[in-house]
Amino acid sequence: MKDAFMQEAIALAVENVRQGRGGPFAALVVKGSAVVARGTNRVTTAHDPTAHAEVVAIREACRALGDFQLNGCDLYTSCEPCPMCLGALYWARLDRVFFAASRQDAAAAGFDDAFIYDELCRPLDARSVPLVQRLSEAGQRPFEVWAAYEGRVEY
């Protein structure tokens, strides 16, 4: 853990706001002592609700390394990852995550991170966005085809 990486993430987040590029968030993917990729929030300017700093940094790091996983890498982010970004870093198999501000700090600044955490941990029928299951039997078919497909690449 190097505080210099976190200081860079925080400085990038401040700069991202001042340049009008998006929300007050930035992240770095680090391998050993080298920065593999940087990302800042671009939701409003890229018209992409998934363009959070962590997702941008993870996508860029995978592009740089030519891989779909980031084993051996750490993430430094100016704020605790929201559930979307936390899910992304699990799928990317990052080793460790360092964050500065908390989800409560983000909530106080007007962002929905804490709300979405609460939602995700509720049963489906208690959420504010309705999630309805349909055609559950037909929905098994893609998994059956996957299990039988010899060329499948697992992730």
**What's the chain's Rg over C-alpha atoms?**
18
Instruction: Report how far Cα 54 is from the mean position of its chain's Cα atoms.
Output: 5
Nearest-approach distance from CB 108 to its own copies, in angstroms:
8
Mapping DSSP to helix (H, G, I), strand (E, B) and coil, where does residue 40 land? strand
54 is catalytic: yes
Let me know how long the chain is.
155
Residues in 85-114 that interact with its own copies by CB under 8 A: 85-102, 105-106, 108-110, 112
Active-site option among 8, 54, 80, 119: 54
Nearer to its own copies, 22 or 34 (CB): 22
Q: Kindly state whether residue 125 participates in binding its own copies, applying the rule CB under 8 A.
A: no
82 is a contact residue toward its own copies (CB under 8 A): yes
Contact positions with its own copies (CB under 8 A) in 42-81:
43-44, 46-50, 52, 55, 58-59, 62-63, 66-70, 78-81
The three state secondary structure string of 52-104 is CHHHHHHHHHHHHHCCCCCCCEEEEEEECCCHHHHHHHHHCCCCEEEEEECHH
Please identify every residue annotated as catalytic: 54
